[in-house]
Amino acid sequence: MTMQIVRAHSYGGPEVLAVEELKLSPPGPGQALVEIAAAAVTFYDVCNRRGDFADRDYYKDEAVLPLSPGYQGAGVVVEVGPDVTDVRPGDRVVWIWGSGAYATHVVVPTASLIPVPDDIDMEQMAGALIQAFVALKLTSETYPVAAGEWCLVQSAAGGVGSLLCQMAKLRGAKVIGVASTEEKAAVAREAGADEVIVSTTADVPAEVKRITGGPGVRVVYDGVGKDTFDDNLDSIAPRGYLIVYGQSSGFVPPLDLMTLQNKGSLYLNRFTIDYYFTSWPDQDYLEKLYGWMRSGDVSVRIDRRYPLEQAAEAHAAVEFRKSAGRVLLVP
């Protein structure tokens, strides 16, 4: 029996992604074979494909060629390994683990599989599992934004950005979203942003000062990195916070620490998810997420779906910011 999987044998543009046919390996002890229903296409996958992580110590073990992209997906268990009792064939599951989710099937350690209740949409979970966790931790722990405080969310129509808007609103914050087009601005408003700035036609710091009445926001949540860094610093009120959780535009260059003094004694944090796990899966988080999904307080906008054969097009949609919401590969 064979499976299809998307792989890349070199770093480069979306065109390096291609579907290959491989022998389907049976699950071993502690493993399950899952038939994939949907896999999330993330900017992490894009950065790894481009080779951005190849010379970064934190990521280098995950940048070894050939790449088999996709660390997050949802599907149905079709076979379990010897002595496996915690899952069984037919179970609906979601996971974050390793790689290889851009495929028809994947073998996953059962310890990484999370049951998906029958009333929860599989595509929503494929698009939200770790992104909603990041948004929750950013808004409740990294900087716990308070009711009535202004926060700025860069890329507010994106997969994490739209969830940040929703999580901040659940805490009673006032949200300014930044988006690159009017279409994406509408998506940010749907996600709960009180005000939206279209970055291609407006001066972001000036608009932030106008909206907040002068001082700026208490905190910026940013996954863009290099291209938004200076605007972010100029949008923060004195003694405010900049939380960087990604680098879709590239890594932020080295910083003169005195810049933070000159901009108002600011705080800067580079969020790293490893330091926010006590255990995984986090049952308290999952109960909250399922509850929010059932009530409609949190949802994931699925913007586009592509078959495996169009993985390059899916990457291009994410990399060149054509999408507004989550992009999925659906085998």
Nearest to 173 by CA among 228, 227, 221: 221
- What integer is the mean pLDDT of 276-295? 93
Provide the pLDDT for residue 179. Answer: 97
Question: Residue 18 burial by CB count (10 A; 0-12/13-18/19+): exposed, middle or buried?
Answer: middle
**Distance in angstroms (rounded) separating the CA atoms of residues 67 and 59:** 13
Domains, in order of start, for the chain: 2-116+301-329 (3.90.180.10), 129-274 (3.40.50.720)
Name the pairing type of β-strands 18-23 and 195-198.
Answer: unpaired
CA atoms within 13 A on the CB side of 2: 6
Provide the pLDDT for residue 58. Answer: 87
**Distance in angstroms (rounded) separating the CA atoms of residues 51 and 36:** 26
Asked whether the predicted pLDDT for residue 97 surpasses 90, the reply is no
Torsion of CA 2, 16, 159, 247, to 10 degrees: 140
Q: Other C-beta atoms within 10 Å of 56: how many?
A: 12
Provide the pLDDT for residue 135. Answer: 98
Instruction: Give strand ranges (E) for 181-289.
Output: 195-198, 217-222, 236-244, 267-270
Question: Residue 2: beta bridge partners?
Answer: 23
Q: Could you tell me how many residues make up the chain?
A: 331
- DSSP assignment of 207-225: HHHHHHTSS-EEEEEESS-
pTM over 0.95: no
| Tens digit of each residue's pLDDT (9 = 90 or more) over 208-254 | 999 999 999 999 999 999 999 999 999 999 999 999 999 999 999 99
Question: Residue 300 burial by CB count (10 A; 0-12/13-18/19+): exposed, middle or buried?
Answer: buried
| Tens digit of each residue's pLDDT (9 = 90 or more) over 174-220 | 999 999 999 999 999 999 999 999 999 999 999 999 999 999 999 99
Question: Residue 306: beta bridge partners?
Answer: 329
Q: What is the mean pLDDT of the chain?
A: 96
The residue to which tokens 């004694």 are assigned: 265
**Distance in angstroms (rounded) separating the CA atoms of residues 189 and 187:** 5
Backbone conformation region of residue 264, classed left if phi is above 0, alpha if psi is from -120 to 50, else beta: left
Tokens found for residue 138? 């950013």
Asked whether the predicted pLDDT for residue 279 surpasses 90, the reply is no
Q: Give the confidence band of 14 by pLDDT, cuts at 50, 70, 90.
A: very high
Q: Let me know the angle formed at the C-alpha of 188 by 186 and 189, rounded to the nearest 5 degrees.
A: 65
**Distance in angstroms (rounded) separating the CA atoms of residues 320 and 331:** 23
Return the SS3 of 311: helix
Provide the b/e sequence for 221-238 (b: ≥16 CB within 10 Å): bbbbbeebbebbbbbbbe
Instruction: Give strand ranges (E) for the chain.
Output: 2-7, 18-23, 31-41, 72-80, 92-96, 105-109, 114-115, 150-153, 174-179, 195-198, 217-222, 236-244, 267-270, 302-306, 326-329
| Tens digit of each residue's pLDDT (9 = 90 or more) over 290-300 | 999 999 999 99
Assess contact for 201 and 195: CB atoms under 8 A: no
